[in-house]
Amino acid sequence: MAKRKYGLNLIRFNGGPGCSSLSGFLNENGPFQWQPGTYRPVENPYTWVNLTNMLWVEQPVGVGYTQGVPNITNEIELSQEFAGFYKQFATTFGLENRKVYLTGESYAGYYVPYIADEFIKQEDDVYFNLAGIAVNDPILGDSTLAQQVTAVPYLDYWANVFSLNASFTKAIHERADQCNYTTYYNTYLSFPPPPAPFPVLPDPFASDSEYPTCDLFSAVYTAAQAVNPCFNIYHILDTCPFLWNQLGIVNQGDYQPPGAQVYFNRTDVQAAINAPVGTNWMQCSDKNVFGGATNNQSLSDRSLGPAADGTLTRVIEATNNTIIGAGNLDFLLPTNGTLMALQNITWNGQQGFQGYPATEFYTPYHPEYNDGALAGAGYLGLWGSERGLTFYQVQLAGHELPEYAPGAAYRVMELLLGRIKSFGDASDFTTQEGDFTGTTPIYKPAKVQKVLH
């Protein structure tokens, strides 16, 4: 917990399910960063601690340093457990009577809306005065819609990056047509959307084949790895070599150098942060956090996506301050999959966005004093806002958006907290001093000696 003077609290979750929010703390928005491939930690000028009180939470039970045995099977149980924890935490540290904001990424697209809905149900402004939510690169509903339908259009948009051959490209388009993905995409990714709920597509894995015909996402991913063995599903511009992450591996196939030690597994680190010394900390747990009291490894989260069961709608309408965004270099959960999920829900009297969110997203020009933590400026993406819901996209950001576009992510928090009126606001960062308009150099570059090699 980073405690500041502000009368509000912002809580941050990572996803998984089963991944630690210390990942976000160390790689994304904490007071210092130790990003993959870098020599040592550096101060983070774009830490959200500059804006508000921050709380990074490892949850549910079974994640990171948490104690106990996982005993939940769905998001309702998860949100009730978290509400109980937060009330005790706020009481212990004197954090009552504050506005609360919830943020997260990836599978926190489930966590955040469900926990927000539980806070609303509590009807208790002493502890649960929910003022808004923000999620980036989230899973909100049907994974077939989020990943399979969007796989081929995503490949087409970034064709020069994927660099796949003509025969594969032709074949994958034919499969998209056969699976009805092409027609579905062109019909339902529209503004305004066709009225009424979208039809549910068949399960792409409902096949006896080892390679189901309609699992186009895996087909594109496998082809991309053949061309680029270091293809990063979270940030598609990466090429070899693999960059070692001090937080360790996340997915099967991730690289860990021989003898490398995960930072949060160092006993001196564990002792320094008052964590249980000797814990086998993992960035993403190998435990089934939704396995229930019997630790049933065959179970998974039994809840529907928050866009599918009304949860997200209730939160939007209760707060009128919901922000959802995406990095366009994220292949795991492509931007248009998130947009399609939103086009399939109704909030504040209408279904979906009535117009494509196409206003330019402005990130202020600013001084840089730390070459180890830089952030882009200017028009970095697009956004739109209707009826209490804001959607944005950042062109050169990956799945972990605050890591790849820290200035844009900082701007998102300024909007969430009510410091600016919109992403079109051309003013400076609210914590910035000086006038940096982008029309003159913001610092004098050092003299560089040319080297031939």
Tokens of 230: 């270091």
Cis ω before 241 (30° cut-off from 0): yes
pLDDT value for 451: 36
pLDDT value for 293: 76
Which residues are designated catalytic?
Answer: 106, 330, 399
Which burial class, exposed, middle or buried, applies to 293 when counting CB atoms under 10 A from its CB (0-12, 13-18, 19+)?
A: exposed
pLDDT value for 237: 97
pLDDT value for 372: 87
C-alpha dist (Å) from residue 399 to 28, 163, 332 = 11, 21, 7
Beta bridge partners of 102: 11, 133
pLDDT value for 449: 34
pLDDT averaged over consecutive 10-residue blocks of the chain (453 residues)?
Answer: 65 94 94 91 94 95 93 95 96 95 97 98 96 98 94 98 98 96 97 95 81 91 96 95 89 79 94 95 92 79 94 98 98 98 98 98 91 93 98 97 97 97 94 62 36 36
How many Å apart are CA 326 and CA 115, to the nearest integer?
21
Nearest to 307 by CA among 341, 334, 332, 333: 341
pLDDT value for 15: 93
Q: Enter the pTM of the model.
A: 0.93
